[in-house]
Structure 1
Amino acid sequence: FSYLLSIDEHRNFTRAAEALNVSQSALSQKVRQLEDELGAQLFDRSGRMVQLTDAGIVYLEYLRRAHNHLLTAQRALNDVQDLSRGKLRIAFTPTFTEYLVAPVIQQFHERYPGIIIELTEMSLDAVETALGDDKVDLAFGFDEVFSHDVEVEALFPERLTLVIGRSHPLITRRHPVTPAQLAETPLALLTTSFVSRFHIDSYFQSCGIKPSIALQANSISAVLKIVSHGKIATILPGTIELEHRDLQYISLDPPFPMRTVALLSRKGAYRTVASTAFAEQIRGMLEHGCLSPLRTLTGRDQE
């Protein structure tokens, strides 16, 4: 497995051998032996970079599937029922770092300190791919997924809203902000690499306005810092109020469409005891724990 996968990754026998800590001659010999056994050439070595042949593409596709199944089997064997040890792989889209990930992880670690938690921030598209490739166990995302292999469990509603600091001119406003007023408001927005930005741009287009974008950033924490200290506003999920009560959340008219935050997993995948416990904990925190306000924040900020 590792020999062929490394060659495919590096597209060079020398670099693949170095990564595997074996000699190039040993690696080449192993590949030739396998090709002789299969009766097919897997790699085209004629160019500057090693390329998969048609046979190699087919063989590697099934090889990766087998490799993923093997890793799943190993995790199943290592899974301990009492949660005294193990590993939990969680992915999440960026906005959840500001209010959701920390309290959930903190409580889970306090209850199960022997579980090693691996956190990865990625885009929603990357989350779906990672779930399909069995790279993560669970993910925080939205219910608007494209892959039929992803299982969706709705958690709570979320709505994008206008967010300002306490020194902003709109701080005394008692009525929702209209599109015309929003167009005159300097904004600090996330870059187009964020899924939220797609919804924001769609809102501008549907309202027929050209926003006053003062700056763009690929860091949510940077945007929040700028907004909290100045007279620039931003548009972010109203649910961040759970952790950022120093900011003000202004209703828009018309409001952004509601979205549903969801816990994502791969359909039919082996569920470790740790991932099952994690999902149960989230449900409990939303039902009667510190996350329960998330189920009412969105509705309140648009009243």
Structure 2
Amino acid sequence: MQQRDIFPRSLQYLVAIAEYGSYTRAAEALHVSQPTLSQQIKQLEESLQSPLLDRSGRSVQLTNAGEIYIRHARRAWGELDGGARAIHDVQNLSRGSLRLGWTPITDYLTCSLLENFNGLYPGININTLEMPQDDIEVSVAESRIDIGIVFSKPFASTTRPNELETDVLFEEKLCVAVGNSHPRTKQQERMSAQNLGQESLALLNNDFALRRHVDEYCNKYEIEPRFAVESNSLSAIISLIKHRPLATILPLSIVRQQGLHAINLSPEMQRKEITLIYRKDGYKSPATVAFSELAHLWSKDELPKH
């Protein structure tokens, strides 16, 4: 039995319209006629005695009531999916699935963990999604992913803390990173906060947690940072650091992994925790449990000590 067979059609249609912003595109994606889709939505709105969609603009948008309702609908969908997966998951992990969300930072930090997991459980289908931390927290809370790996203390303002369960793996030290093209490439002494303000920086944009940590540090020590490059791609930033006289802020493990030169800050930035997050009281598949257990062993045995 597929998930769509047990989830009410009207709610499937509402979710599709919200995603595509169009009755026509939603109907095409669902392989139904547009009149059928429209009739289901009309009946749903009548039963709730509230409009769920605003059809006045060029694209269809959720009303305030629609946003509230679809949030609960997606969570219900996640619960139904969890029930179906609980029935069909094979306890010996010879097959199954794992939906994993991570940030660009935690991607670099934990990629070898994923390789180890795949080596131990090749029958598990792993679907990884790279996204900002705020989106990971919401996706976990709504059961759209099984587990998130986040950099720093979780819980964005959009997510209630009582919806998430945390499991700290390890702490990471943050430092300035430069490449061989930078005049400070052989510097051993610490860099002051004021000197950091004089560097041309390449950083992730402010959708990402690491950037917000840097901004908080700069605000605390009244630094006016010079942003030469802002990107949502960590690999692009690392490439720039390797070939241009720019500086960035990275976890020490990534600096060493990429062959960059680390410069400690004075005062230091607050160390950040690499944390697994799950939906509190949500179903944990055998694959999720196995990944969590392996993550703890990996963090103790394979991570460099700083």
Q: TM-score, normalised by structure 2?
A: 0.83
One-letter amino acid matched to 1:262:
T
Name the structure 1 match of 2:4: none
Which residue is 1:301 aligned to?
none
Unmatched runs of 5 consecutive residues or more in structure 2:
1-7
1:187–1:234 CA contact under 8 A, matched in 2: yes
Q: Secondary structure at the match of 1:234?
A: strand
Q: 1:85 aligns with which of 92, 95, 107?
A: 95
Q: Structure 1 vs Structure 2: percent identity of aligned residues? A: 35
Distance in 1, Cα, partners of 2:61 & 2:113 = 44
Of residues 237, 250, 255, the one that matches 1:223 is 237
| Paired AA for residue 170 in structure 2 | F
Change (3 A) 1:80 1:234: same
Contact 1:40–1:55 (8 Å) recurs in 2:
no
Report what 1:27 is aligned to.
Answer: 37
Secondary structure of 1:70's counterpart equals: helix
1:122 to 128, 131, 139: 131
C-alpha displacement of 1:201 = 1.8
SS of equivalent to 1:173 = coil
Q: Which amino acid aligns with 1:276?
A: V
Q: Is the aligned partner of 1:105 residue 2:124? A: no
Q: Closer, same or farther in 2 for the Cα pair 1:247/1:52, shift >3 Å?
A: closer
Matches of 1:90 and 1:46, distance apart in 2: 35
Report the equivalent of 1:188.
202
Counterpart-to-counterpart distance in 2, 1:150 and 1:237: 25
Offset of 1:11 from its aligned partner? 5.5
Paired residues of 2:74 and 2:142 also in contact (CA < 8 A): no
Q: Secondary structure at the match of 1:223?
A: helix
- Offset of 1:204 from its aligned partner? 1.8
What is the identity, as a one-letter code, of the residue corresponding to 1:107? N
CA 1:217 to 1:23, structure 2 compared with 1: closer, same or farther past 3 Å?
A: closer
The Cα of 1:131 is off from its aligned counterpart by: 0.7
The Cα of 1:250 is off from its aligned counterpart by 0.7
Residue 107 of structure 1, CA deviation:
0.8
Rounded Cα–Cα distance in structure 2 between residues aligned with 1:128 and 1:109 = 24
Quickly say closer, same or farther: Cα 1:242–1:114, change in 2 above 3 A: farther
The Cα of 1:200 is off from its aligned counterpart by 1.0
* 1:281 aligns with one of 294, 301, 304: 294
Contact map agreement 1:186 1:232 (CA 8 A) in 2? yes
Residue of 248, 255, 266 corresponding to 2:268:
255
Q: Would the alpha carbon gap of residues 233 and 25 (structure 1) be closer, same or farther in structure 2, given more than 3 Å must change?
A: closer
After the TM superposition, which residues 264-279 of structure 1 pair with which residues of structure 2 at under 5 Å, given as runs?
Answer: 264-279=277-292
Deviations 1:215-258 (A, max 9, x none): 333221111112112322211121213522x2111111111111
Q: How many positions carry a matched residue from both structures?
A: 290
Within 5 Å, which residues of 2 pair with 1:13-92?
Answer: 13-31=23-41, 38=47, 40=49, 47=56, 63-92=73-102
- RMSD, matched Cα: 2.7
Residues 161 and 22 (structure 1 numbering): CA distance in 2 closer, same or farther, change over 3 Å?
Answer: same
Q: Is the 8 A contact 2:201 2:226 kept in 1?
A: yes
Residues 143 and 154 of structure 1 are in contact (CA less than 8 Å); yes or no, is this contact kept in structure 2?
A: no
Contact 2:102 2:136 in 1 (8 A): yes
- Flag the 1:26–1:253 CA change in 2: closer, same or farther, 3 A: closer
Structure 1 unaligned segments of length 5 or more: list them: 298-303
Q: Secondary structure at the match of 1:19?
A: helix
Q: Give the deviation of 1:136 after TM superposition.
A: 0.7
Alpha carbons of structure 1 residues 273 and 176: separation in structure 2 relative to 1, 3 Å: same
Counterpart amino acid of 2:287?
A
Say whether residues 1:239 and 2:249 are aligned partners. Answer: no
User: Does the 8 Å CA contact 1:43/1:50 hold for their aligned counterparts?
Assistant: no
Match of 2:87, as an amino acid?
L
TM-score (norm 1): 0.84
- For residue 138 of structure 1, what is the aligned residue in structure 2? 147
What secondary structure does 1:154 align onto?
strand
Larger-gyration structure (1/2)? 1
The structure-2 alpha-carbon separation of the partners of 1:27 and 1:182, relative to structure 1 and needing over 3 Å to count, comes to closer
1:104 aligned partner, one-letter code:
L
Inter-partner Cα distance in structure 2 for 1:221 and 1:61: 34
Alpha-carbon distance, 1:274 to partner: 0.3
Task: State the partner residue of 1:300.
Answer: none
**Structure 1 residues 173-182 or 153-162, which shifts more?**
173-182
Distance 1:177 1:29 in 2: 65
How many Å apart are 1:74 and its aligned residue?
0.9
User: What is the deviation of 1:143?
Assistant: 2.5
Deviation larger for 183-192 or 128-137: 183-192
Q: Secondary structure at the match of 1:171?
A: coil
